[in-house]
Amino acid sequence: MPGVGDGRPAIAELHGRCDALLASGWRRVEIAAQVTQRGESLPIPAYFNSTSVDRVLIGGIHGREPAGAIALAAYADRLLELGGSHAILLLPLLNPWGYSRHVRYGPRGQSVSDSDHLLGRAPAPACPEAAAITAFVLDAVRISPGAAVLDLHEDPVYEAPDYHLEGQGSYLYVSGDGGLTHPVAQRVYRCLEGGSFPLIKEGVTRFGERLVDGVIVDTEDGSIDELLAKKRACSPVITTELVLHTETTPPLSERLATYREVLDAFFGP
């Protein structure tokens, strides 16, 4: 990816890996597209192996947090097998424009999956992608009550030079009824706790949220995760964060290895 020094692959490569699912009966739908300055259209695809799903995988909402999207695309081979026993919705890269430019938000300067307009906090969608993505998850696919959601983020704390968070590690958001004690959430928790980037148990995020044992429970941040917990009764809804002190600290390869372990933990033995 030109101009981004962390070794992230091209968008076409990520989509290519996911497209390998199509030969096994998965479907691909283009939720929306983002247009670059050069007039190139970057599709935002969704993949699913059933129109009624009980697992949702999300990546690439924020452009400076590439590990989730790359890890999900690399996991497509494993999803081929898991799709035999799970009904899965895969949203691997929701903000390709941000990914390609290494910026947090989309071209309108807004979160591409902002859900405040459906949570009673805003009169209208924050941007066209937010309108399309939230409509897709609520209307185009049936997400079953109790579906488990995993949304892979990173926290580039270097964006906020005045902010300091102790430790090289990770933390979690968990939402949904009984989410924190759900076996899926417990597996992901233990995976991070015992992994290369252990949970940072105490502290305050740069968004002012207090960590309790490495977790923020039932946050109201207007995210697609809050939307799925509140409007589709998903649980657990797990948002993982790996703390980035620079673009390459820790190195992308190590973050990808951790996220593969997190995906394994999410699906379980």
Nearer to Zn ion, 32 or 154 (CB): 154
User: Contact between 153 and Zn ion (CB under 5 A)?
Assistant: yes
In the complex with Zn ion, which residue's Cβ is closer, 34 or 205? 205
Find the binding residues for Zn ion in span 65-94 (CB under 5 A).
65
By beta-carbon proximity to Zn ion, the closer residue of 153 and 182 is 153
175-185 exposure pattern, b = at least 16 Cβ within 10 A, e = fewer: bbeebbebebb
Minimum Å gap between C-beta 159 and Zn ion is 11
Q: Is 203 helix (H, G, I), strand (E, B) or coil?
A: strand
Determine the interface stretch with Zn ion among 92-100, 118-126, 153-161, 206-214 (rule: CB under 5 A). Answer: 153-161
Measured from the CB atom, the residue of 153 and 230 that comes closer to Zn ion is 153
CA distance from start to end of the chain: 35
Give the footprint of Zn ion on residues 207-236 (CB under 5 A). Answer: none
Query: What gap in Å lies between CA 214 and CA 172, rounded to an integer?
Result: 6
In the bound complex, what is the minimum distance in angstroms from residue 223's beta carbon to Zn ion?
Answer: 9
> What is the smallest separation between the CB atom of 51 and Zn ion, expressed in angstroms?
28
Smallest Cα–Cα separation from 8: which of 73, 61, 80? 73
For residue 187, state whether it binds Zn ion (rule: CB under 5 A).
no
Q: Is 50 or 113 the residue whose CB approaches Zn ion more closely? A: 113
Name which of 51 and 249 has its Cβ closer to Zn ion.
249
Tell the smallest beta-carbon distance from residue 239 to Zn ion (Å).
8
**How near is the Cβ of 62 to Zn ion at its closest, in Å?**
4
Closest listed residue to residue 225, CA positions, set 242, 210, 213, 237:
237
**Cβ 145 to Zn ion, closest distance in Å?**
26
- What is the number of alpha carbons within 13 Å of residue 107 lying toward its C-beta? 15
The tokens 């695309």 sit on which residue?
Answer: 73
H/E run at residue 99: helix 96-101
The answer to whether 62 contacts Zn ion (rule: CB under 5 A) is yes
Q: Total residues contacting Zn ion (rule CB under 5 A)?
A: 3
**Kind of pairing, strands 170-175 and 142-156?**
unpaired
Burial class of residue 72, CB neighbours in 10 A (0-12, 13-18, 19+): buried
Give the footprint of Zn ion on this chain (CB under 5 A). Answer: 62, 65, 153
